[in-house]
Copies of this chain bind each other. A is one copy, B any other.
Amino acid sequence: MAFSFEIDKTAEGGGRRGRLTLPHGVVETPVFMPVGTAASVKAVPQDVLEEIGAGGKGAQIILANTYHLYLRPGHELAGRMGGVHRFMSWERPMLTDSGGFQVFSLSGLRKVTPEGVEFRSHLDGSKHFFSPEHSMDVQIALGADIAMVFDECVEHPASYERTRESMGLTHAWARRSKDHFENHKERVPWFEALGGDTQRLFGIVQGGMYVDLRKESAERLVEMDLPGYAIGGLAVGEPREVTREMIARTLEFLPKDKPRYVMGVGYPDEIEEYAKMGVDMMDCVLPTRAGRHGLLFTSTGRLNIKKLEYAEDQRPIDAVCECMVCKRYTRAYLRHLYASGEPLAGTLNSVHNLHFYLATMERIRAELAGVSGKAVS
């Protein structure tokens, strides 16, 4: 399946209804990608993941974390198993991050040089080194449909100078990522099985909270002519208006005919807002992580299932939700599971939240398809 990105309609606000064709399938955009950190969307079996969301369509694409999979089970092992798709029995599209963000989250455990990043494992303190080239090798072995360039994600807040310097490193690393990826992409484990098709490498725009740096970063990356672009370094603690402004001001400088991806966001109203601004892809741990902590998203707002007020509440989480959890279980039961530390709580809460996110995206796609927008071929 050759790579392509088609846009059917673009709405006034910039939102696009499109279709991303990847080696492992077609993804309707805008899309939300559940996060399967260590080759598992936490607490959710793959067959359930294939069935949640509006109309039982399931998740179209999931994200897996390069850093975590590099440490366990190891990218070489995953490669020998045929890549992460086959390893975890997920035959639909997949994206891996570059490992950069996670490595940079290991504050105190890392050391950055122009060559790459030395860091210590959060698991056992062992020393490791990631360069752009190594990130590419790891991601090629993992074998997701989409790989990401290795970038530096600057801390927040960061000065203009610090941000510009970091951005320069990101650009140099993007170039090195691309060069290495182009020379080795035929090594993806499923290269022959899929008739010589391979992964695609997306760029990542940095530039912190400075509009001119965001513009510069977008322009430098667009010069590299990558098949898609992410906006990184957001949702790192800045106010939400700043996140939105950075997204809006960066989108201006990204090619309209390529997929645009905002990494690591967000709450349901945020993903809706960004999708309607023209973001095609998003991912976030929030639906699963919040679910494991008892925070549930509904059509009428958030609900903290641990509260005593739900102890005898015989209603479903959300009266209008069609997920398997809302069809079967009461708030009273879900509160009991959570309060009792039952492992089923994590599963059911995550399933509901993921369904809510995917159903939200389905609604947004329908809205964008119905909007009389200009056709972009």
Contacts and interface: CB of A to CB of B under 8 A. Distances in A.
B39 A333 contact: yes
B328 A47 contact: yes
A344 to B, nearest CB: 5
A107 interface: no
Give the contact-size bracket for chain A. Answer: 35 or more
Contacts of A314: 81
A324 interface: yes
Contacts of A165: none
A353 to B, nearest CB: 15
Contacts of A45: 344, 347-348
A292 B324 CA distance: 24
Nearest to A87: B333
Interface of A: 38-40, 42-47, 68, 72-73, 77, 80-81, 87-89, 292, 311-312, 314, 324, 328-330, 332-333, 336-337, 339-340, 342-344, 346-348
A72 B336 contact: yes
A312 B80 contact: yes
Contacts of A77: 311-312, 332
Nearest to A346: B343
B324 A47 contact: yes
